[in-house]
Amino acid sequence: MTQAFLELRNIRKNFDSFTAIDGVSLQIPRGEFVTFLGPSGSGKSTTLYVVAGFIEPSAGEVLLNGRSLLGVPPNHRDIGMVFQRYTLFPHLTVAENIAFPLRVRRRPKAEIAAKVDEMLRLVHLSAMRDRKPAQLSGGQQQRVALARALAYDPQILLMDEPLSALDKKLREDLQSEIKRIHAETGVTVIYVTHDQEEALRLSDRIVLFNHGGIEQIGTGEDLYQRPASAFAAGFIGNSNFIDIEVLENRNNIGDVRCPDGSTLSGVPLMGRTQTGKAQIMLRPEHIRLTAEAEGIGGHVTDAAFLGDVMAHTVLTGWGQEIMVRTPRQMFMGPPAGVGDAVRLGFAPADAFLFVPH
């Protein structure tokens, strides 16, 4: 592989006795939109702040174009950032905020004016140029922050949960706006979020963080279709985990026994176990409610019509709630109602097998 644009090499960060980042290595090519996804405290934000230069790693290396960024102060890193909180300068107008990074770089006046106009057009806020931040909505403020971060054509744009303070509708509007701006500018983006849907919607690649380390790197589809761990499977998309026992292993295809004693054949073992206790993960959309005699038995405790899908919760004989989502066109006859006895059917090949640690 040729030299990566941005490379993190075995980054570690210890705060007193607590390890925030535990050996993160990552390569990001120029122009990619990468999302750091993970629960709070997983090290994703800390890693971002290491790139920004606000946190000095305890060990490891950050390379941009092959040159170390460590020891370079944030104001010389040529990195743009949009923060979780609104960080526009309250005493400056929208246009002055966008001009700020160019003014401190002592660019010529004409160039600054042209760039401010260009940025205002980019974020569709030309009409707001003379307003103060306090007169803007939260979504508009974050768009100005985005314009300010891009005004000086930074090498990398960092975004630290920039939409988490906005409501859902506005968040989706801004997601498509961010996607469009990424496409128009071609800037390399590192985007931190704990919202898997946001990560799936925006990213070229997702870096899934857990406990200060990287759990899995891949496209959204990789993570959803081929989760590398039970954590990845549980974090991306909805999932049901069922404790099972692998009874027999035939060329990596297993016979397993479910908690209610029923058995299944043809579960891919993915080389993860020979025999013994394990878990299978099933996506809600891979399960169907059947009236046939086989499958796991249970009864419906909740049924909700969600427009394109029907969502059921089924309580199994061993007391576990299983989520089932049935696409609208798959409805056969009247859908099952609360209290109905049903059986859960699925193709064994759709089950993911994990061995709990």
Partner 1 sequence: MADAIAVKGVRAAQAAPPPPAPRRLRNGFAPAVPGLAFLLLCFMLPVLALLLRSLTQPQWGLQNYAALLATSTYANVLFNTFAVAGLVTGISALLGLPLAWFLAVAPRFWSQLVFGIVILSMWTNLLARTYAWMVLLQDTGIINNFLIWTGIIQNPLPLFGTMAGVVIGMVYIMLPFMVLSLRGPLAALDASLFQAASLCGASRVQAFTQVFLPLLAPGLAAGGLIIFVMSLGYYITPSLLGGAQDMMLAELIAQLVQTLLNWGLAGAASFLLLVLTLSLYAVQIRYFSPRRGKEG
> 56 vs 302, which CB is nearer to partner 1?
56
Q: What contacts 246, CB < 8 A, 6 or more positions away?
A: 254, 255, 256, 267, 269, 273, 274, 275, 276, 277, 278, 353
Q: Nearest distance from residue 18's CB to partner 1, in Å?
A: 20
| Burial class (CB within 10 angstroms; exposed 0-12, middle 13-18, buried 19+) of 351 | buried
Determine the interface stretch with partner 1 among 143-151, 189-197, 243-251, 273-281 (rule: CB under 8 A): 143-151
Q: CA nearest 284: which of 241, 244, 320, 239? A: 239
Rounded Cα distance between 66 and 3, Å, is 7
Q: Nearest distance from residue 298's CB to partner 1, in Å?
A: 47
Q: Nearest distance from residue 307's CB to partner 1, in Å?
A: 26
Strands across the sheet containing 59-64? 18-28, 6-15, 59-64, 67-68
Determine the interface stretch with partner 1 among 47-55, 215-223, 248-256, 270-278 (rule: CB under 8 A): 47-55
Q: Nearest distance from residue 103's CB to partner 1, in Å?
A: 8
List the interface residues with partner 1, window 145-174 (CB under 8 A): 145, 148-149, 152
DSSP state of 351: P
Residue 18 and residue 41 in contact, taking contact as beta carbons nearer than 8 Å: no
> 48 vs 322, which CB is nearer to partner 1?
48
Rounded Cα distance between 143 and 120, Å, is 9
Residue 212: how many other CB atoms lie within 10 Å:
23
Q: Nearest distance from residue 236's CB to partner 1, in Å?
A: 29
Q: Nearest distance from residue 117's CB to partner 1, in Å?
A: 12
Tokens of 103: 């003014």
List the interface residues with partner 1, window 72-131 (CB under 8 A): 73-81, 83, 85, 87, 89-91, 100-101, 103-105, 121, 124-128, 131
List the interface residues with partner 1, window 207-236 (CB under 8 A): none
Among 134, 251, 307, 329, binds partner 1 (CB under 8 A): 134
Total residues contacting partner 1 (rule CB under 8 A)? 40
- Interface positions with partner 1 (CB under 8 A): 52-54, 73-81, 83, 85, 87, 89-91, 100-101, 103-105, 121, 124-128, 131-132, 134-137, 140, 145, 148-149, 152
